[in-house]
Structure 1
Amino acid sequence: MEVEPFLQIIYFIVLVFFSGFFSGSEAAYFSLSKEMVDGLKESDSHKSKRIVNLLKKPRLLLITILVGNTVVNVAAASIAAILTADLCAQFHFSMDVAIILEVVVVTMVLLIFSELTPKIIAVKNPYQFAAAVSLPLIVINYILLPIVFILDKFPALLSGFFSVRLKKHLLSKDELRTLIDFSEERGALEEDEKEMIHSIFELSKTTVREIMVPRIDMVCVKKGTTITKLINIIHSRGHTRIPLYCEKVDNILGIIHAKDLLPFIKSKDKKADLVSLARPAAFVPESKHIDELLNELQSQKQHMAIVVDEYGGTAGLITLEDVIEEIVGEIQDEYDSEKPLVIKIDDTHFLVDAKMDIAELNEALDLNLPDDKSYESLGGFIFDLIGSVPKKKQEVEYGGYKFIVEKIDRNRIVSVLIIKDHINFTKP
């Protein structure tokens, strides 16, 4: 073999090595999780500091890697083409056949040794690979800095030259959800953080009716209630805002704030008109979506709103805490009872809070109760099943399950005993 073709092969091998270097660098640096990068920031190691410095400008780092990889790949393909032409001339091969073979061989070599192998190694050992290539990357970054700078500014320069404004691509909700799931898989997000972000997306689908405190559970005071009694109600129930009504709950006059009663606590004169103390109430329809409600509460600087039905009557109330709990989950404060919604008595008997959502109950106990729009809670399901106001200890069966009304408060079901019948488990 002549010297020149031999050197061309050596050059080709070196270029393939550098192509693998750039491909592996890209995979390694962009496979480092947020937790790993945060840990590197705390390290005094020179390698760790170099990695962190390179990742401070990930866009420029990526452009450097892509430019370097493109240059060496083009150079490798060019040398392979020259080598093929020289060999064809020397050994009198068919040029057409040789070109086809050259394309196939070069493609396979670059794919295996420049893409797949280095990327697999880098993804499995991102820190070790990133640390090993950090110093050469910094040197290459300085060498290619003028080209990288131009390429980084090129889109803006191009749009300015043609007087065209480049539109930023806004990710759709589905794309964001996919990105969030991917981030959680890669360790950039915790599972609870992912669930919180997904919950924010659901705000535009959730209505006020789904999360409001129903009318029957509202704590309200009637016009004419004494200050002393109102203070006792606030103390016993732990609420800081109490709706004030006239004659009936459908006629809400305003909201009493607990802090407005502070002057009366030590005062001997506890005679005051609650109407004058009441602040204006915000009213929202039960069909309003939560994201719209959040904007409305923010614009009106309110923490509570009275929910009205289609006839203008009071359907319930909703607070800012209810909205926040849709995002972050249940918030337990010093006044909240931490009593679980489901108490397991044995393998077949469960005492369930009637306020529990049907969908959550199905998931918790592996049931298959219908989730109808006319009701959302277990209590609503029992009411719908019986068709009238139930009595204490009244029993009803559905789909192989027995439901016993354990406790009732003012015609409202408080708790239900569910008995799972494993013998008769046929769904109607």
Structure 2
Amino acid sequence: MEVDYWSRLLLFVILIGLSAFFSGSETALFSLSELEKRRLQEGGTPGGKRVLELLARPRLLLTTILIGNTLVNVSAATLAALLTSDLVAAHGFSRTWAVIIQVGVVTLVLLVFSEVTPKILALQRSERFAVVAATVLRPIIWLLFPVAGPIEAMSRQLERIFGVKEGEFALSEAELRALIDVGEEEGALEADEREMIHSIFEFGKTHAREIMVPRIDMVCIERSASIRELVELIKSCGHTRIPVYEGTVDNIIGIIHAKDLLPYLGREEQEVDLARIARPPMFVPESKLIDELLREFQKQRSHMAIVVDEYGGTAGLVTLEDVIEEIVGEIQDEYDRELPLYQELDDGSYLMDAKIDLDEVNEVLGVELPTEEDYESLGGFIFHLTGQVPREGDRIQYGDLEFIVEKVQRNRIVTVKVRRKEAEASNS
């Protein structure tokens, strides 16, 4: 009797071990990332090949694991009932309490030793566990195929009925963004790396009009100007490429590179047709996506493009640097003297450049100002609200925000002061 008891106990331990193996195998094999699978493939080891072979038929693999796990769990539960029945009877428990104790013990053992613990261990060492599991599972799959095969076929049929397509799974952009944010929180990515990756997601959605230098801010020169005037213009603005127009800025005829003026230094008074020095301009529509624009810059070996509107007029210009800055952020050299687009004042208000993008305004102020196709900047938003050219000192109310026009130049809003009404009330 005692020998029979110990043999049952040994068999129970073996069954629990098998259950743990099946549970761990399921977790290890099906939690392998695409990167880990590729590493196994490139490694070329026999174990890695076995893992990939099994994962090539995921339904059959999962069906086999579940059948095996069910068989050993049922067997373990039955054996546990036999092992505990004599002990429970010896202590004089009623039938009801005997069942409760048996179920409680079996459930606890199966949860701890057959489910939770092996799955956690397999998740932590999924690649190594998967290689071992694949070696053991191959003969088990062959052994259980008479049962697992028909179940796999039924599973396929049900998937067809419910319209589930194989290989349909793919990470969405939102999920990838969430993974990147988690990577920063876990310390795997720096904050600037996270920002750069997020910028890449936006890169293919951004249009040329969103990053261009607007027409009113373009530095251009008339074709009839002299070399001396051109040299002085380059010295004053610091740009190395100057668009040349004839008659009006809507008629850009070329772009002059500063280095092309070297042969004329010392001969500034010589009359030269700037059109002869200028290089052919590159034109792009406002709607041009900047990822396409980058490829066009590379193809044409150009660093500047003139942006035209739907009527063919000049809307602005965009440079290769503008495009790259959308990924890496602002690039400033030792000659750049750009003022910040906004600065916080002592009273809690903000002084903002009217060119600042509304999305950035929303981020800085923590608000949700509406963006439309008609405008994308703070200045455009104020023009939209007023319906006319505002004067310096004009105050525009919008929700709990007050916009004060600080500076207007040639019918163009230059700077705007933005403050919240409650902040104003608290200061007074």
TM-score scaled to structure 2, two decimals? 0.68
Equivalents in 2 of 1:369, 1:82: separation in Å? Answer: 64
Where does 1:242-281 land on structure 2 (aligned, <5 Å)? 242-265=242-265, 271-281=271-281
Q: Is the 8 A contact 2:15 2:75 kept in 1?
A: no
Number of the residue aligned with 2:51:
63
> In the alignment, what sits opposite 2:395?
396
SS of structure 2 residue aligned to 1:422:
helix
> Take 1:321 and 1:370, find their aligned partners in 2: how far apart are those partners?
28
Query: Which segment drifts farther, 226-235 or 66-75?
Result: 66-75
TM-aligned CA deviation for residue 110 of structure 1: 4.7
Q: Is the 8 A contact 2:51 2:130 kept in 1?
A: no
Counterpart residue number, 2:295: 295
Please show how residues 181-196 of structure 1 align to structure 2 within 5 Å.
Answer: 181=181, 183-184=183-184, 187-196=187-196
- Aligned partners of 2:248, 2:20: CA distance in 1, in Å? 82
Cα contact 1:28–1:119 (8 A) shared by 2: no
Distance 2:385 2:80 in 1: 88
Describe how 1:11-410 pairs up with structure 2 within 5 A.
11-16=14-19, 60=48, 63=51, 74=68, 77-78=71-72, 81=75, 84=78, 109-120=109-120, 144=135, 173-174=173-174, 176-177=176-177, 179-181=179-181, 183-184=183-184, 187-265=187-265, 271-367=271-367, 369-391=369-391, 393-399=392-398, 400-410=400-410
Alpha-carbon distance, 1:213 to partner: 0.9
Question: Is contact 2:286-2:309 (8 Å) kept?
Answer: yes
Corresponding residue for residue 98 of structure 1: none
CA 1:373–1:18 in 2, change beyond 3 Å: closer, same or farther?
closer
Contact 1:303–1:319 (8 Å) recurs in 2: yes
Structure 1 runs not aligned, ≥5 long: 35-51, 92-101, 152-165
Distance 2:220 2:25 in 1: 68
**3-state DSSP class of the match of 1:404?**
strand
Q: Secondary structure at the match of 2:422?
A: coil
Matched residue type, 2:414: V
Q: How far has the Cα of 1:16 moved from its partner? A: 4.9
> Is 1:10 equivalent to 2:4 in the alignment?
no
- Whole-Å separation in 2 of the counterparts to 1:72 and 1:361: 55
TM-score between both structures, scaled by the size of structure 1: 0.68
Give the secondary-structure state (helix, strand or coil) at the position aligned to 1:385: helix
Question: What is the alpha-carbon distance in structure 2 between the residues aligned to residue 244 and residue 172 of structure 1?
Answer: 46
Between the aligned partners of 2:66 and 2:277, the Cα distance in structure 1 is 78
Residues 1:116 and 1:332: Cα distance change in structure 2 (over 3 Å): farther
Distance 2:69 2:344 in 1: 71
Instruction: Rate the CA distance shift 1:307–1:18 in 2: closer, same or farther, 3 A.
Output: same
Residues 80 and 106 in structure 1, CA contact (< 8 A), matched pair in contact too? no
Distance in 2, Cα, partners of 1:204 & 1:143: 42
Structure 2 alignment gaps of length 5 or more: 56-60, 86-101, 143-165
Query: Could you tell me how far 1:248 is from its partner in structure 2?
Result: 0.8
Q: Compared with structure 1, are the counterparts of its residues 77 and 308 closer, same or farther at alpha carbon in structure 2 (3 Å cutoff)?
A: same
Superposition deviation, residue 258 in structure 1? 1.8
Question: For the residues of structure 1 that align with 2:369 and 2:171, how far apart are their CA atoms?
Answer: 37
Kindly state the Cα deviation for residue 406 of structure 1 after the two structures are TM-superposed. Answer: 2.3
RMSD of equivalent CA atoms: 4.9
Matched with 2:413 is 413
CA displacement at 1:287 relative to structure 2: 2.1
Distance in 2, Cα, partners of 1:268 & 1:86:
102
Q: Percent identity?
A: 48
Does the aligned pair in 2 maintain the 1:5–1:83 contact within 8 Å? no
Between stretches 261-270 and 296-305, larger displacement belongs to 261-270
- SS of the counterpart of 2:225? coil
**Distance change (3 Å), C-alpha of 1:414 and 1:107:** same
Aligned partners of 1:55 and 1:61 also within 8 Å:
no
Change (3 A) 1:311 1:420: same
The count of aligned residue pairs is 371
Cα offset, 1:348, TM superposition: 4.4
Query: Is the CA contact (8 Å cut-off) linking 2:344 and 2:350 kept in structure 1?
Result: yes
Deviation at residue 168 of structure 1 after TM alignment:
9.9
